[in-house]
A and B are shown apart, each in its own frame.
Chain A
Amino acid sequence: MKVDETLPLEYSTEENQLKILGFWIFLGAEIALFSTLFAVYFTLENRFGTGPSAQEIFHMPPVMIETILLLTSSFTIGLGIHAMRLGLKKAMMAFFVITLVLGLGFLGVEIYEFVTYVNEGATIQTSAFLSSLMTLLGTHGLHVTFGLFWGTAILLQVRKRGLTPETANKSFIFSLYWHFLDVVWIFIFSFVYLKGLMVL
């Protein structure tokens, strides 16, 4: 395997470069997936029937906590990749652990939010609005959940094998995934919660 020493580890072989390109193409497909879910939500957001409306169930405090947790985790994984490029394995692992803990916190608040909705009588079967809302939020939450397992597995590999072209490549690709989930959340935060709470 030809290793180019002038490039960061995660780009150092042709295979690595192609894997990163492949993952960007996958993220393109993810953009299409979330676009369809947003399209469904925007179509059905006012069809709440006899159930609660967005104004009635959305509460900003938990949403702000989720936003800050995910935004910070996106920052810390960025620092993790930066540390990885400096060859600082311990610092990189520490930043990844912080990222995953913040992600777990996000998921905890989101689960709390879903439980609150259901206790208020807002289930996925209550109205078209809630079906589309929970499908959109649930798909994002599922991605975060998957990311927690994926990130943990990569951390274990880095601990065992150290920073190699393979583990660095996997870590970098995971960071792309994590940043992407933050981008999706920004759009949920803006066009689901804030738009839903705008007083017209």
Chain B
Amino acid sequence: MMKQLFPKQHVMGFIFSLALSVVALAVITFDMSYKMGMGILLVTALAQASVQLLLFMHIGESEDRRTLYTNIGYALFVGVVTILGTLFTMIWGYQIR
């Protein structure tokens, strides 16, 4: 019964997520450059988001999966352009002057 209620994949995904959160803590426990820290955070955050999307949200299991991937891909594109575009005009461009 326990085996049936706690599928191995889900348990592994959960442990993996917790481990990634602990790895992300490295950026405040160890002395490192800004670039290195941001790199670690990007990798751990994107990996965790992928676990949620692919494993827990079952994005790839229905027949319209291509529509879902396109939709989420487009939303992420809009999000990245919003954030980087804002930084480009409000922060990075300003500092050059």
Contacts and interface: CB of A to CB of B under 8 A. Distances in A.
A32 B78 contact: yes
Nearest to A33: B79
Contact of B25 (A42, A43, A82, A194): A194
Contacts of A183: 48-49, 52-53
Say which size band chain A's interface belongs to.
Answer: 35 or more
A42 B87 contact: yes
A91 B17 CA distance: 23
A68 interface: yes
Contact of A71 (B18, B53, B55): B18
Contact of B56 (A21, A35, A74): A74
Majority DSSP secondary structure for residues of A touching B: helix
Given A39-B87, A42-B83, A191 B78 contact: no
A67 B24 CA distance: 12
Contact of B90 (A38, A43, A77, A78): A43
Contacts of A42: 83, 86-87, 91
A57 interface: no
A40 to B, nearest CB: 8
A154 interface: no
A115 interface: no
B28 A60 contact: yes
Interface in A171-200: 175-176, 179-180, 182-183, 186-187, 189-191, 194-195, 197-200
Of the listed residues A25, A186, A200, the one surrounded by the most CB atoms of chain B closer than 10 A to its CB is A186
A183 B72 CA distance: 13
Contacts of B10: 75, 78-79, 82
A101 interface: no
B44 A24 contact: no
Interface of A: 11, 17, 20-21, 24-25, 27-29, 31-32, 34-36, 38-40, 42-43, 60, 67-68, 71-72, 74-75, 77-79, 81-83, 86, 88, 91, 175-176, 179-180, 182-183, 186-187, 189-191, 194-195, 197-200
